[in-house]
Structure 1
């Protein structure tokens, strides 16, 4: 396991509040930073951010990094930590979709002995649909002809993306903790069972090259599905990550994707494998991917039961970065053992982004729970930014924070609550659209 020594206390460092929208620029911090010269790496002013988000992030960088602590260097025990989700946070569009689409177009999914055995929750309806669409004429372990059988590609992609079969039947059923996993996410590395991590890495590199070369806005077909053909690194996020690293931060990616896939992409922003956390598949005696993955905290290895998803991202951060093991890895830690900056775009990120002590950066994709937290802005440190490429327009109506904004462990929807138990009122969308960048 990739553990990191416990961080020394950061409590003595000041944390200035950064208001969500319309906050005053951190002029004092900026002046102090300039006075300290080379110890104060600066975010580029050539890249547009919404409102005063750049200034708020710069203030945290100055207060926690080498600007205030020029002795930071190397990988010491007291380095501040920043952690980011990947898909639609650091990059525009989904790198898992790009890899699956490429793999389906190139016949890289191997026929399993039993579709039902690929997931602990796959339904009989999904098993039948996959068997009928993909056939049984290929030997077990041989590549499925997904490039020439669009029905097979369709069923696989529909189950991965919508958790349903092409006929609309539920693809997964049973019980799971809805704040620790989601079967269609866990199914992705399970689809690549039988391959080596090196093979999956190679497929991802090929898919990445195609996605980066495709024009912004371009689309591709998988069976009858239409999805984006392109992926782009956000220049602002690349600059933020590099600035944080220069300022002495340990910067991590924490994703609910497959780890070999995420590692290929995170290298493009200077984040190595040690600092990339995603679903970790167990390997068989031949070094090939299985349908099992590592557990977190006090949870055993399983077929998708605990992955870096919602509360699972907190567990993996606590365990892998701060060295908190056992059942307490699922708990919110004290400020000295939490990240300084967290960034995400979806409800799967809400827990770890909320744990950040300096800034909670959210790219607005109109996801209920994380936007309820962001707009409620309980600690004054939530920063909402439209997506840097093809931002969404304003959400119609309010986010249902007071009634159904939160996903509970049993999968039901409930109100979003603050730490004191009070209910977050419904929130209107105020940071959106192409006109929002400045």
Structure 2
């Protein structure tokens, strides 16, 4: 079967004109492109706003690094000339629970289920190649009688069907059997891909409109709001972190190219990122392939993994691949490896194991938002080269973890999903780490 063309990020991304018009007119971003590499020397470097949500000296340390590499000011600094080769400095942010509180992929899935937007597939396993036979049977039993193939499933009222789709998202059937198997746990998150795959058959413009409506609903809802999806009461609100908004605006003013790398559907994140003035072609997410103007269940590849193989997305090592490939122009198998000098982000930020590799590649500062994710927090607290910063969540921070992170034994996830010790670049094992920033 020929692989359909892909909706690509950067130069190759081609959302429909209607989708792009929606993004452009709905949010009116402040800037459509990165700041020039050599702005006027009269342009002063911007200063981060003070906020008690910045822990300890984190704000000051970030400001120091931003200024060190920024092209604003009288002349490019030595650090920028030597480390970046004179190119525009780059900052890369994860999105969910890093730039915003809560998860925009969750929000889109919940909206889609509450609004009957999942089209009944002819075969559930065609949506995701890692779906187990048990999950395929469970979905067929729960949903197939509800609508004809190609018609919307009535998930707003059919609790059983909505519950099964929701359960599969969390990698289990309602009967407790595993939903996905056979994937590389450092390249793929089938549950994350499931959100995008459930939109198979829709146009890019339609998906953008669903994301925009979910965004409006979640921003308008009071903090703490829940909503019902099937028989579940789930999160019903999202907020942009004021501190991350300020950091992104400061970086943009200071001449940085700000990118987003997320394991939520790319069109969804583009809608949200536009609210901070980040243009669509600087957003990396789960990128679906399109045929005849409609989304297919297949995914864009990365590095030496071709389009339609459906085995990699913006997840752990896959996230590094897409950053290296689409931000820094590194192609083939090399995109999965550490980039050569001059092709690194200055600043990177994340909150989970999804982000640990690309955040660790930053050469200036690596910001870990503390959500108690073991592998990320093991590396951040170990701080082997002094470039990691740990900050509590800017809104509703978690309490202190009661026991140390098990870095020396089970903090790392191997490609087959088995646990192992977290190791430094030299192969030494990271000792268990206490949670001290909360």
Alignment TM-score, normalising by the size of structure 2: 0.87
Q: Answer whether contact 2:146 2:153 (CA < 8 A) is retained.
A: no
**Other-structure match for 1:21:** none
Q: 1:149 to 1:360 in 2, by over 3 A?
A: same
**Other-structure match for 1:53:** 58
Cα distance in structure 1, aligned partners of 2:344 and 2:74: 18
**What do you get for the CA RMSD once the two structures are aligned?**
1.7
Runs of 4+ residues deviating >2 angstroms: 1-4, 36-39, 66-72
Matched, 1:141 2:150: yes
Matched, 1:157 2:163: no
Q: Answer whether contact 1:295 1:302 (CA < 8 A) is retained.
A: yes
Cα distance in structure 2, aligned partners of 1:258 and 1:329: 21
Q: 1:143 to 1:428 in 2, by over 3 A?
A: same
Cα distance in structure 2, aligned partners of 1:354 and 1:225: 36
Alignment of 1:91-170 (within 5 A): 91-160=100-169, 162-170=170-178
**Other-structure match for 1:264:** 271
Post-superposition offset of 1:2: 4.8
Cα distance in structure 1, aligned partners of 2:96 and 2:274: 14
2:368 to 362, 368, 389: 362
Post-superposition offset of 1:159: 1.0
Post-superposition offset of 1:335: 3.3
Q: Secondary structure at the match of 2:145?
A: coil
Q: Answer whether contact 2:70 2:89 (CA < 8 A) is retained.
A: yes
Cα distance in structure 2, aligned partners of 1:247 and 1:70: 13
Larger mean Cα displacement after TM superposition, 421-430 or 296-305: 296-305
**Other-structure match for 2:32:** none
Larger mean Cα displacement after TM superposition, 124-133 or 80-89: 124-133
Cα distance in structure 1, aligned partners of 2:311 and 2:73: 42
Q: Answer whether contact 2:147 2:153 (CA < 8 A) is retained.
A: yes
Larger mean Cα displacement after TM superposition, 416-425 or 213-222: 213-222
Deviations 1:372-419 (A, max 9, x none): 000001111111010011110011101000011111112111100011
Alignment TM-score, normalising by the size of structure 1: 0.87
**Other-structure match for 1:30:** none
Q: Answer whether contact 1:39 1:70 (CA < 8 A) is retained.
A: no
**Other-structure match for 2:69:** 64
Post-superposition offset of 1:303: 5.3
Q: Answer whether contact 2:407 2:432 (CA < 8 A) is retained.
A: yes
Post-superposition offset of 1:228: 1.1
Q: Answer whether contact 1:399 1:426 (CA < 8 A) is retained.
A: yes
Cα distance in structure 2, aligned partners of 1:192 and 1:316: 22
Matched, 1:408 2:417: no
Alignment of 1:382-393 (within 5 A): 382-393=388-399
Alignment of 1:36-435 (within 5 A): 38-46=43-51, 48-67=53-72, 70=75, 78-160=87-169, 162-173=170-181, 175-284=182-291, 286-302=292-308, 304-432=310-438
Larger mean Cα displacement after TM superposition, 116-125 or 318-327: 116-125
**Other-structure match for 1:435:** none
Q: Secondary structure at the match of 1:336?
A: coil
Q: Answer whether contact 1:3 1:323 (CA < 8 A) is retained.
A: no
Post-superposition offset of 1:292: 0.5
Cα distance in structure 2, aligned partners of 1:48 and 1:59: 18
Which 5+ residue runs of structure 1 have no aligned equivalent?
Answer: 5-35, 433-438
Post-superposition offset of 1:69: 6.1
Q: Secondary structure at the match of 2:424?
A: coil
